[in-house]
Structure 1
Amino acid sequence: MTTTSLTEYFDAYARDYSYYKGGSWCYEDGCLYRGLIALHEATGEDRWWRHLTRLVDGQVDADGNLAGYTMTEYNIDNVLPGRALVYLAAKTGDLRYRKAADLLAKQLQTHPRINAGPHWHKLRYPHQVWLDGLYMALPFKLEYGALAAKPQLGEQALAEMLTALNLTFDPPSGLYRHGYDEARLQAWADPKTGLSPAHWGRSIGWLAMAMVDMVVTLPAGPGRDDLTARFSTLLTVLAGLRTTDGRWLQVIDQPALEGNYAESSATAMFAYAFLKAARLGIKGAMQQVGADAATSLVENAMGADASGRMVLQKICCVAGLGGFDGNYRDGTPAYYLSETLRDDDIKGVGPLMMAHAEGELAKRATSARREAVA
């Protein structure tokens, strides 16, 4: 696909998008909002703004209430789409968006925490921190703090991120485990470390995106330097785990595992993280790694569905830890390989939009440098 056809694919995807959970406020829709924001910021094209406002306005009423949202569920996932509210509030001054963002910020004030500080993933996953949740909550807390002139929220977000990194880090691999159980109550948790047993690609993808989005927003200082250094180290490890065609695996560090496969959402997330980090000048962030990953997705993971429409394939629909829908997800490599794949799932398409936007910014910067030399 050419850049033009990929852009048209994104446009058609957003145009035809149906809310992931029937219109209820959810993180999946937030993945699309992040993609639309990235495309709007990178290109300035009005179509991305129109898609964003149309979809968000369908979930926010005149008083700033969110469709299907219940604060006391304490679901950390519900915070992610709040970043679109912060963006729209800053751009438009519309109080609906600010009130809705205030509601999510209020959730985080009382959202349960482990003793070490980071938030529980959900009320129904007590005493647990998952890498997914770091992306869902912490960039929002940082960006909302800037909007509301509450810098202490940014300081909290940074402290929580650094603590979570300490708790989930696996020194032998240089990677981070999907989950940590402070109480050591879950069957998936190592009784000594509290960690889940395997390295799931997308969970580390969520983490990488959280890290780069926080680095770009944090004020200069020792804490930002610490996070940047850890992110740089992670990027170096990730660069060595690519498949021969430049993607990343579902169980990211086990290429010999039977049934393991190049998974598209993780690959899109890492493409975005590498490209954005390279733009920021972060050590270890090789722009070409991100560009090659995005290109490989288009060449190897996009194809026509039964109707002839182009779709992004090889996206793990969902994966987690513990009990869900009558099953117990034990966090082993075999478990991650058992989860269903779904074409065009937004958890893959949204990050690909973001990676594409970063690619466009990189092209623009290269063109500007050439013009300056000429």
Structure 2
Amino acid sequence: MRTAILLAGLLGHFQAAAAVGRACDPGSRPYSAWMTDSVIARQDAILNAKTEDDVSIIFKVGLFESTVIRLKEYYDADSCGQEDWHSYLLAGADSLIPRLLNLTGDITSPMDTFATGEAIYHQYDRTQNATYKQVLDTLWQALNERPRNSEGGFWFYEKYPNLSYLDESYPLGSFSSLWKTYIEPTNTTIADNLINDLDLLKNHCHHDDTGLLAHGYDASKSSWWANATTGASPYVWDRALGWYHMALVDLLENADKSGVLSQTQRDDVYTKYYNLANTIINDADNTTGCWWQVMEHGGQEGNYIETSGSSMFVYSLLKGARLGYLSGTTPKGTGYTDAAHKCYGYLVDHVVNKEADGTLGLDKTVSVCSLTTPTYEYYVSQPIDYNSVYGTAPFILASWEHEMFLSGDYP
């Protein structure tokens, strides 16, 4: 019932908004804008005294900022946002500057750091303030000085030599695309390094039986969990695969808009994206349409439907359909948009909560998973964080794509 009410409300919103651009009617707020306001009201995605001890805060701020930047290019932020989106973007970016200007820290930190590039460039583009350019230059230098394995793949984190995670694909793809588009458009090495990293992750982590990708790999094959042939970790974690699939569809869009890839590279990314879309849909839960924390093990004791990865897949599937990368049905006959909308409806009905203060809450987002002890028991026992930005930001992106579908902004 809630889903039906939501759909009717959103259709009414878009009919009303058609005459005034993408303004929002306060009586039928789209979930993307509502969740954005909620994150801002809670101050969840800014580096401050409340969040400074969160080991993932840099990634979260960068992810949320890039999400809001995209959202306000589609919606009128002044009519759609009850909070001040513009000021929050500025405050969030500025809160990152002291950490990001630390070159050694950028080199030794997880690859999360490079998810901040879009937030910093957005402010540089607006103001031409030299400090933002200095931050971007520091990040670029750090990327080029980070350690890599014998095949040229980036280590995810200097603390863990030779380990590469699917998680790195999103920040690496985002920052590499930004740098090549706006700073060095003729530098082909940027795309070569990015494609090499994506290829290595796919080649090492691929599960031949399902087509899905494991969480990461050890290039040295010395970890106790590493596959003796590939170095791959043993399990498919939904959010790690979500980062990878989001990175692919965003990279395709950037390639088609800005030429960040050669035609051969673009076609290779498309093949990866398309094949993964089919295998991801094949692994969806039959009842909810969403995805389990440990994929390939749906229904097993301790496993659960996880919000961040599910939202990422909704986003990547709907975006691919909107841009023409997916059309019709999978080889097994499931409609691409049907699969995405089924999961989105479940998320709205079962994990989104309307709080007493008027904000939206989001449940069932796992905190952080690493490759330190990648057992099944490890993945299903990691804490669940209510209102984690790792869940709310992808949910905003999924909602935005869902709303665009309802508006008719589709091929």
Shorter-chain-normalised TM-score: which range?
A: 0.7 to 0.9
- Report how many aligned residue pairs link the two structures: 359
Q: Does 1:240 align with 2:282?
A: yes
- Provide the residue aligned with 2:35 in structure 1: 9
Q: Does 1:34 align with 2:34?
A: no
Q: 39-48 or 202-211: which moved more? A: 39-48
Aligned pairs (5 A) from 1:219-298? 219=259, 221-243=263-285, 244-283=287-326, 286-298=336-348
Do the aligned partners of residues 290 and 66 (structure 1) sit closer, same or farther apart at CA in structure 2, a change above 3 Å counting? farther
Q: Does 1:181 align with 2:228?
A: no
Whether the aligned pair in 1 keeps the contact of 2:238 and 2:292 (CA below 8 Å) is: yes
Whether the aligned pair in 2 keeps the contact of 1:135 and 1:210 (CA below 8 Å) is: yes
Q: Does 1:321 align with 2:371?
A: yes
**1:122 corresponds to which of 157, 179, 199:** 157
TM-superposed CA distance for 1:167, in Å, is 2.0
Q: Does 1:333 align with 2:383?
A: no
Do the aligned partners of residues 356 and 143 (structure 1) sit closer, same or farther apart at CA in structure 2, a change above 3 Å counting? same
Alignment identity in percent? Answer: 25
Q: Does 1:196 align with 2:233?
A: yes
- Aligned AA (1:334): E
Partner-residue secondary structure (3-state), 1:59: helix
Structure 1: distance between partners of 2:104 and 2:117: 12
Structure 1: distance between partners of 2:354 and 2:403: 25
TM-superposed CA distance for 1:66, in Å, is 4.2
TM-superposed CA distance for 1:129, in Å, is 0.8
Aligned pairs (5 A) from 1:70-85? 70-85=105-120
Do the aligned partners of residues 15 and 304 (structure 1) sit closer, same or farther apart at CA in structure 2, a change above 3 Å counting? closer
Structure 1: distance between partners of 2:176 and 2:226: 28
Whether the aligned pair in 2 keeps the contact of 1:86 and 1:147 (CA below 8 Å) is: no
Structure 1: distance between partners of 2:169 and 2:34: 31
Q: Does 1:165 align with 2:197?
A: no
Aligned pairs (5 A) from 1:333-352? 333-352=376-395
Q: 351-360 or 110-119: which moved more? A: 351-360
Structure 1: distance between partners of 2:314 and 2:104: 32
- Provide the residue aligned with 1:109 in structure 2: 144
**2:183 corresponds to which of 142, 148, 164:** 148
Q: 2-11 or 174-183: which moved more? A: 2-11
TM-superposed CA distance for 1:297, in Å, is 0.9
- Provide the residue aligned with 1:372 in structure 2: none
Do the aligned partners of residues 232 and 109 (structure 1) sit closer, same or farther apart at CA in structure 2, a change above 3 Å counting? same
**2:249 corresponds to which of 187, 212, 231:** 212
Do the aligned partners of residues 338 and 68 (structure 1) sit closer, same or farther apart at CA in structure 2, a change above 3 Å counting? farther
TM-superposed CA distance for 1:114, in Å, is 0.9
Structure 2: distance between partners of 1:202 and 1:362: 24
Structure 2: distance between partners of 1:236 and 1:33: 30
For structure 1, the 5+ residue unaligned runs are 323-328, 370-374
- Aligned AA (1:256): G
Q: 282-291 or 267-276: which moved more? A: 282-291
Give CA deviations for 1:297-321 in whole Å, capped at 9, x if unaligned.
1111123579896410011011111
Give CA deviations for 1:307-338 in whole Å, capped at 9, x if unaligned.
8964100110111111xxxxxx2x12221101
TM-superposed CA distance for 1:270, in Å, is 0.6
For structure 2, the 5+ residue unaligned runs are 11-28, 79-83, 329-335
TM-superposed CA distance for 1:39, in Å, is 1.3
Q: TM-score, normalised by structure 2?
A: 0.80
Structure 2: distance between partners of 1:349 and 1:5: 14
- Aligned AA (1:22): E
- Provide the residue aligned with 2:13 in structure 1: none
Structure 2: distance between partners of 1:296 and 1:169: 29
Structure 2: distance between partners of 1:92 and 1:103: 19
Whether the aligned pair in 1 keeps the contact of 2:177 and 2:254 (CA below 8 Å) is: yes
Partner-residue secondary structure (3-state), 2:93: helix
Q: 283-292 or 251-260: which moved more? A: 283-292
Whether the aligned pair in 1 keeps the contact of 2:100 and 2:106 (CA below 8 Å) is: no
**2:52 corresponds to which of 22, 26, 29:** 22
**2:129 corresponds to which of 94, 99, 104:** 94
Q: 346-355 or 184-193: which moved more? A: 184-193
